[in-house]
A and B are shown apart, each in its own frame.
Chain A
């Protein structure tokens, strides 16, 4: 399955495999270099499993010095490098290259410093997202961004993808919760950005690194801010006869000045699949189901529950339950959290898409999505982060039926183009990777993409870090450096001047 083409492998590099292997073994001794085909199989894909490729060699460094030496070697010898965290990327960000070294950071798995007074934790990039919370929860703290893969995904990967989750509307994405990084550039240089203080001086390279999908550098240490756990959390389960009613309810909650800790919506196919799977007590006779979670001080949460109830009733809610205890709250969430595997039970395969739209466009987008489904002959179930308009349409298909995967991919591309058309974006939290790479031109002009690639040139002029991801066309930096400027006298007679 190779609908998305990767850059043609450099046969000269592949021919040098032995030499590269021994050089890497000299840098990372023992079992830190994997070259046996069978052992490398574990690295041939990430969570976008439709795409697989064995890497040239896998390297698992343990020290910053080793990372630096590996990158420096690859830079000097023109060998491509694909950085990898836990391999949970859903957009193919960690897909290996036949002519590239796969650099796994999973041996960087230690929590280095917990500083409660300054509300900062310093960890190595291989620590899992949930691992950070686990390290501080006994003192009542947690790390806010919560991608659904948080039990497995690494914080280094979270930085690469600028991961989000249910909490993001209220608490921000990774980019809003990272204070500092230590990273290695492709030439082997080690730099530090930020720290326990706020707002680094100079250019905000931390912003560029966060969400850069492994194209700019390799993170070796991360400083994140931690927050005090909210005193309490309660959830409402609200069903609506139409998605329009649900959409309006979401808008009214926000207009009332309420920013919930989480606000998730499911459409009918998703509700049924989830209910069949976990018996969460979801109503089956609704078109849209909303879960609104309010967290914070107890007094505030009780007050806001009442407000949200009023808003829901005003928007024709046909079903409304408020969690009365922690067990009930978890039950409300159980269906939503199991929605993906639940859909997996009703369809042999599914593609999980990820785009963001302005919330007001929701009814239109859902209706159009059904039409597109008819066009491609496939069904779709929807779960999404209603608070921020981040959609996750699950396209149902059967890989064993000839042509269905192609149809599913074409359907997915149509959905993402639709997101852009209504004023949204191609990806809200999963990244561009290879999956959405060829759609970038639907969202950005040539000039937009060239400017993005010029950033890449500042960090990695030879395009050795994770090439083939994010950008549909690889421009050489020399070509991007050319300027076409009009020479001449001060020419603009129309512009006012003083």
Chain B
């Protein structure tokens, strides 16, 4: 009796989960299913499909607050705020290209469940930094609300933020309130050509330490476009301000070579490419997403290059390394050892066959006491283990 259930409201979700908890029937929670290939494959007979749980509940641009049902397509959310001169500042990345699917799919609930963010992470934060409140249903089949609809709130534990990045394993979110921000008037990208990884990331870190208010800092090595490497710095805001800060950057980075500038359209295109990991889109090799201190990025890659064949590029001022194992192996142990050796961080296997992901610690394994605490938290929210079992950690 495998079923796909499509609830139309929070009470439907509550009914389904109550039943599933009573019968200990695991559920796979999906929106549009655009990130099913992310994390460990879920072992569940039934699917809880939230795509009918869609629509805007309230939107008040002057309050900078948007409340939507979790199954609302992310494209619709982005269009709505864009039409009002606003944006989701965390610029959620789109896994479509990397997974060989069409771009633009996914729901806002999925974006939060995976805590997605894009290049603007370094300035604006991740999805979790923009969530204000939510209504959700726990694995006990109880509806609860947490947070609120105002931008400044410290009432009670911050459950909405804690549910971000939990991949639907703690509770099923039904409605979310988000902080939105004014959209910058314009953007432009300053770039340096021909720097090696070390110098490129040093230039990025220098720029991030300036008053230029950089909102994107990426280094694309020469393999990306088959020419010279490009070290990219994005500036956004009012036109006069962008022009002014561009001069600040030119002075600050004069020692790294002669800069070039991509105006608005070119700038948008290159950052979309960085954001959606397009350099690896056409391949089918394993891909890792590795987060380390920014200056450790090039060290990590240099170290791993002596051990196996790879291609890598850098976002977040060097702190986010996208790495593809060109020999087809996943090299889990080598990568995690190297992350530790450069000062710690975390490595996530984001693209690999389901059979490989089933047998791998896809997310960074945690030390004993931390893993035990996470397990206790899971048990409090979902004591029967029915929500996306195994998605993050085997057996949990």
Contact = CB atoms under 8 A, between A and B. Distances in A.
B234 to A, nearest CB: 15
Given A172-B129, A388-B151, A451-B142, A228 B209 contact: yes
B12 A161 contact: no
Interface stretch (B100-108, B255-263, B287-295, B327-335): B287-295
Given A197-B346, A207-B164, A490-B1, A428 B152 contact: yes
Contacts of A483: 21, 140, 383-384
B152 A168 contact: yes
B197 to A, nearest CB: 15
A320 B377 CA distance: 53
Contacts of B143: 447
A191 B369 CA distance: 7
A452 B170 CA distance: 13
Given A118-B295, A205-B373, A495-B7, A389 B121 contact: no
Interface stretch (B30-38, B60-68, B187-195, B306-314): B60-68
B238 interface: yes
A385 B152 contact: yes
Interface in A202-260: 202-205, 207-208, 210-212, 216, 228-231, 251, 254-259
A197 B342 CA distance: 11
Contact of A201 (B63, B161, B211, B346): B346
B175 interface: no
A495 B152 contact: no
A212 to B, nearest CB: 6
A251 B383 CA distance: 45
Contacts of A200: 346
Contacts of A197: 291-293, 319, 344-346
Interface string B137-174: 01011111110111111111111011011100010000
A488 interface: yes
A457 B373 CA distance: 10
Kindly state the interface size class of chain B when it binds its partner: 35 or more
Of B117, B121, B153, B363, chain A has the most CB atoms within 10 Å of the CB of B153
Interface string A354-377: 001111100000000000000000
Contacts of A426: 155
A454 B212 CA distance: 44
A35 interface: no
B337 interface: no
Interface string B280-304: 0000000000011111000000000
B182 A258 contact: yes
Contacts of A430: 154
Interface in B24-72: 49, 52, 60-65
Contacts of A360: 60, 62-63
A125 B212 CA distance: 31
Contact of B157 (A169, A212, A425): A212
B137 to A, nearest CB: 10
Contacts of B61: 255
A497 B5 contact: yes
B237 interface: yes
Nearest to B206: A117
B241 interface: yes
Contacts of A352: none
A148 to B, nearest CB: 14
Interface in A408-447: 423-432, 436, 440, 443-445, 447
A196 B138 CA distance: 32
Contacts of B292: 196-197
Given A211-B157, A423-B149, A447 B295 contact: no
A185 B150 contact: no
B165 A204 contact: yes
Contacts of A168: 152
Contacts of B394: none
Contacts of A255: 61-62, 85
A302 B73 CA distance: 40
A457 B209 CA distance: 41
Given A117-B205, A191-B369, A208-B162, A199 B117 contact: yes
A199 B149 CA distance: 24
B373 A191 contact: yes
29 contacts: A116-B209, A118-B295, A141-B209, A172-B129, A195-B344, A198-B121, A198-B291, A201-B348, A201-B363, A201-B364, A202-B393, A203-B166, A208-B158, A257-B238, A300-B244, A358-B63, A358-B65, A388-B151, A427-B154, A431-B154, A443-B155, A455-B380, A458-B380, A459-B376, A485-B141, A492-B15, A496-B5, A496-B6, A496-B52
Interface of A: 115-120, 140-141, 161-162, 164, 168-169, 172-173, 175-176, 185, 189-193, 195-205, 207-208, 210-212, 216, 228-231, 251, 254-259, 296-300, 303-304, 356-360, 385, 388-390, 423-432, 436, 440, 443-445, 447-452, 454-459, 470, 480-481, 483, 485-488, 490-492, 494-498
- A-B CB proximity, top 10 nearest: A300-B241, A257-B182, A207-B161, A299-B244, A196-B293, A485-B22, A454-B380, A189-B369, A458-B376, A197-B345
